[in-house]
Structure 1
Amino acid sequence: LDNQFSEQLRRYTPLTYDGTHLLVELPQYYLPGAWKDMISAVRDRGYIPVLAHPERYGRILQQEEFLQLARQEGVKYQGNVGSLKGFYGKSAAALAQTFRTCQLYEWWGTDSHNIAMANRIPLKT
């Protein structure tokens, strides 16, 4: 969800989980002012927005109880297994555990962008 998002959504058919659920991601350190409009644009196109790894947006989550507002806007959540295992730091791990306990997540993913990254993620318990 950045400056190019609305244009990209308008111009291209996005990849989805199942033709319905569209995975979206926030910029790392700020909440775009038009995030609600972007979420609405996703819904207006007939998709259900799924926010990737909310536990990794520590600073953003402190703004206006973002997760509750986003849920009211129809957003679902995908947790990151690496976060749960501490791969992205202690605060992300703690938030991931809290969100897991609260049953916030509908899905889990690895955020692996390539095989080398996948091999580094601690998936074994």
Structure 2
Amino acid sequence: MNPDVYPDENEAHFREVYADFITRIPEELGVSTALAAEYMIVKDFEERADDPQLLTYEDGSILVEMSYYFRSENLEQAVFNLVSAGKKPILAHPERYLYMANRLQDFETLIDMGCRLQMNWMSLTGTYGPSSVKILRHLLSHGMYSFICTDLHSLHQLDSIMAIELEPSLAKKVNELIASY
């Protein structure tokens, strides 16, 4: 469970919702769950890097994202501070940041700083437009992704994912990424 967390929200609320959620999962299903969050890199987010309330994965991985409309001015500082605090930042759906299409080298810089990139499976459908697919192809062909996720928000999206037919070269790269886990 990875709720999006914005500055005016409180991690305690998500912990309460998660605690209630896991009580509703039948034990016989044997489902394992975890609570983490996806943090919007906004002004002053970098100051929270060592905040023990941040919802991270057990290994210290933390999902971060930017606005789809503009690049976060404090992106590198946020990544630096998170890494310095012992966290492992993961930039969610970088292919959706269309303003980065002419700044692809910035992704290399982030990776060199210790940030990993997570591809959104829905991006393979072309849902977010041709520029998004172009960025995705570049990042995928250069082995820059560390993870792939569904980022499902509805059952309708699951139908779209299940219907994806990838061209062979793209399918090969996606399979390599999945096998690397």
Aligned-pair identity (%): 24
Q: Which runs of 5+ in 2 are unaligned?
A: 1-40, 166-181
3-state SS, counterpart of residue 108 of structure 2: helix
Count of residues in correspondence between the two structures: 124
RMSD over aligned CA atoms reads: 2.3
Aligned to 1:105: 145
What does the per-residue CA deviation read over 1:67-88, in whole Å, with 9 as the maximum and x for residues that have no partner?
1221221111000111122121
Instruction: Work out whether residues 23 and 52 of structure 1, in 8 Å CA contact, stay in contact via their aligned partners in 2.
Output: yes
Structure 1 unaligned spans of 5+: none
CA contact (8 A) 1:85 1:123 kept: no
Which of structures 1 and 2 has the larger relative contact order (alpha carbons within 8 angstroms, sep 6+)?
1
Separation in structure 1 between the aligned mates of residue 115 and residue 86 of structure 2, nearest angstrom:
13
2:154 to 98, 110, 115: 115
Is 1:32–2:32 an aligned residue pair? Answer: no
Match status 1:86 vs 2:139: no
Task: State the TM-score, normalizing by the size of structure 1.
Answer: 0.81
- Runs ≥4 residues deviating over 6 A: none
TM (normalized to structure 2)?
0.59
Q: Whole-Å Cα distance in 2 between the matches of residues 100 and 120 of structure 1? A: 23
Q: Which has the larger radius of gyration?
A: 2
